[in-house]
Amino acid sequence: MAGEQKTYQPDIEYSFSLTEISRCCGVKTDEILVLVAEGVLSPRGPSQHEWKFGSGDLGRALSALRLEHDLGINPAGAALAIDLLDEMQQLRERVRLLESMVFQR
Amino acid sequence: MDYKDYYAVMGVARDATQDEIKRVYRKLARKFHPDVSKAADAEARFKELGEAYEVLKDPEKRAAYDQLGRNWQAGQDFRPPPDWDAGFEFSGGGQGGAGQRDFSDFFESLFGRGGGFARAAPARGRGEDHHSKIDVSLEDAFNGATLNLQLRVPEYDAHGHLTEKLRKLQVKIPRGVISGKRIRLAGQGGAGYNGGPAGDLFLEVWLKSDARYQVEGKDVFLNLPITPWEAALGAKVKVPTLGGTVDLNIAAGARSGQKLRLKGRGLPVPGEAPGDQYAVLQIITPPADSDEMKALYEKMALETSFNPRLHLGG
């Protein structure tokens, strides 16, 4: 390994099938299906077998599962938390942006 | 190794009831959960809290911990007394599901790694996926870059102790990454079990804050200072953008705070329309720091009837 410096080509526009995203999250497909039903994840594709989850879905799924597990909330509660966290994140960015414009110089 | 005062971590009394401990845990967990809190130390606090709760919620572990006595101070050098756990039987179980836990040396010296239950490796299986965050400068996000990363990877050594290993990695950052995007390095996660394939490494991108530009999604904002006469009469000024300097026409009668859009000059997100840059005008009044400047201001005061406080009844 020493001396060998390989450059890794990352994959940014990857997508997952239902089985793949379940495996990445370490859960059964049922738990992912619940997150889809709650609107946390929005796969593209006409049928469940052809569903494609985007790279953003993985982060949302992991967050939702961690919240469910760590805080003892159900999927609907996790979905609400995720939506509110997204909104808070947008508002935080907005505030940061506005503050930096008003107070700079 | 340092002694940990689990009661102090949770902020509960030593005689707190199980219900009370659960209630306090839930409240603090919501506050410090790394998915919820943006505080820099949230992850460490949450881990510490999880460890304290793991012990205090379980009557067996709590009794064993209490038995160490109350003379220990948090941070004090600790060595478990011989046979300290004689007479206790840990039934294990408990947690499970997502998120493997890693506890402090203190915890492991008392309860063993994983809190009394070993995790069996599957006979042959795919390695775990690893997740990490990386900071990327705005310039690198715009141009794309090859970054040398150092990731801290927790590992178990030959004696079964948790250690951190530095892993050096060279990664091509694609053009147009934005905050919150995850990039995947296939096969760079945990090693597979018994010849199974390795997991993937996911890197979550965070754009570093920039002295000049602010970023919102794929749009870029820049404060553009202009003089009062450029604002009043209109002007052509040079504006820096991520892709190089461009000329911008400012129409006569420009106001402070006005946003002028430079279409397509933001971050070039692949597969989407590129972001825009906005120049936000800031009219800067020159200081009256010389006789000439003072004379100019006095002339303006005499010759104009401008009253910015008219609407205030002034």
CA angle (B167 as vertex; B161, B168 as ends), nearest 5: 165
Q: Which of A6, A55, A66 sits opposite B181 (nearest CB)?
A: A55
Ranked by mean pLDDT, which of B107-121, B184-198, B226-240 comes out on top? B226-240
Indicate if the pLDDT at residue B114 is higher than 80: no
Indicate if the pLDDT at residue B282 is higher than 60: yes
pLDDT band for position A23 (cuts 50, 70, 90): confident
Name the CATH topology of A18-103.
Multidrug-efflux Transporter Regulator; Chain: A; Domain 2 (1.10.1660)
Name the CATH topology of B213-303.
HSP40/DNAj peptide-binding domain (2.60.260)
Contact A101 B280 (CB under 8 A): yes
Q: Which of B168, B172, B181 sits opposite A9 (nearest CB)?
A: B172
pLDDT tens profile A28-54: 999 999 999 999 999 998 888 999 998
- Identify the burial level of A69 via C-beta atoms within 10 angstroms of its C-beta, where 0-12 means exposed, 13-18 middle and 19 or more buried: middle
Q: Which of B97, B185, B271 sits opposite A69 (nearest CB)?
A: B97
Give the least confident one: B140-154, B216-230, B231-245: B140-154
Q: Give the side-chain half-sphere CA count within 13 A for A35.
A: 31
pLDDT band for position B101 (cuts 50, 70, 90): low
DSSP code per residue over B120-159: PPPSSBPPPPEEEEEEE-HHHHHH-EEEEEEEEEEEE-TT
State the best of B22, B53, B54, B184 to mutate against chain A, taking most chain A CBs within 10 Å: B184
Q: Closest-CA residue in chain A for B199?
A: A24
Residues of B in contact with A75 (CB under 8 A): none
Residues of A in contact with B38 (CB under 8 A): 92
Instruction: Look at residue B150 in the predicted model and tell me its pLDDT.
Output: 81
Q: Closest-CA residue in chain B for A2?
A: B168
CA distance A100 to chain B (A): 8
For chain B, the C-alpha Rg in angstroms (whole number) is 30
The reply to whether B213-303 shares the fold of B130-207 is: yes
Task: Tell whether A91 lies on the interface with B, counting CB pairs under 8 A.
Answer: no
Q: Which of A10, A94, A101 sits opposite B174 (nearest CB)?
A: A10
Contact A104 B29 (CB under 8 A): no
pLDDT band for position B100 (cuts 50, 70, 90): very low
Residues of A in contact with B186 (CB under 8 A): 11
pLDDT band for position B160 (cuts 50, 70, 90): low
Instruction: Look at residue B94 in the predicted model and tell me its pLDDT.
Output: 38
Task: Tell whether A71 lies on the interface with B, counting CB pairs under 8 A.
Answer: yes
Residues of A in contact with B283 (CB under 8 A): none
pLDDT tens profile B40-59: 888 889 989 999 998 998 88
| E strand spans, chain B | 130-136, 145-156, 162-173, 182-185, 201-207, 213-216, 219-226, 235-239, 246-250, 259-262, 277-283
Instruction: Look at residue B61 in the predicted model and tell me its pLDDT.
Output: 83
Instruction: Look at residue B136 in the predicted model and tell me its pLDDT.
Output: 92
CATH class of B6-115: mainly alpha
Task: Tell whether A19 lies on the interface with B, counting CB pairs under 8 A.
Answer: no
Indicate if the pLDDT at residue B113 is higher than 60: no
DSSP code per residue over B2-26: B---HHHHHT--TT--HHHHHHHHH
Q: Which of B30, B50, B185 sits opposite A10 (nearest CB)?
A: B185
Q: Closest-CA residue in chain A for B129?
A: A24
Could you say which DSSP state residue B297 is in? H
Q: Which of A8, A63, A96 sits opposite B185 (nearest CB)?
A: A8
Contact A58 B202 (CB under 8 A): yes
**Domain B130-207: assigned CATH number:** 2.60.260.20
Contacts of B157 by beta carbon, 8 Å cutoff, 6+ apart:
B163
Indicate if the pLDDT at residue B22 is higher than 80: yes
> Which pTM value belongs to this model?
0.63
> Which residues, numbered 24 to 53 in chain A, qualify as contacts with chain B under a Cβ-Cβ cut-off of 8 Å?
24-27
pLDDT band for position A63 (cuts 50, 70, 90): very high
Residues of A in contact with B185 (CB under 8 A): 8, 10-11
Structural domain spans, chain B: 6-115, 130-207, 213-303
Give the least confident one: A4-13, B113-122, B258-267: B113-122
Summarize the confidence of residues B171-181 as an average pLDDT: 88
**What ipTM does this complex have?**
0.74
Instruction: Look at residue B71 in the predicted model and tell me its pLDDT.
Output: 64
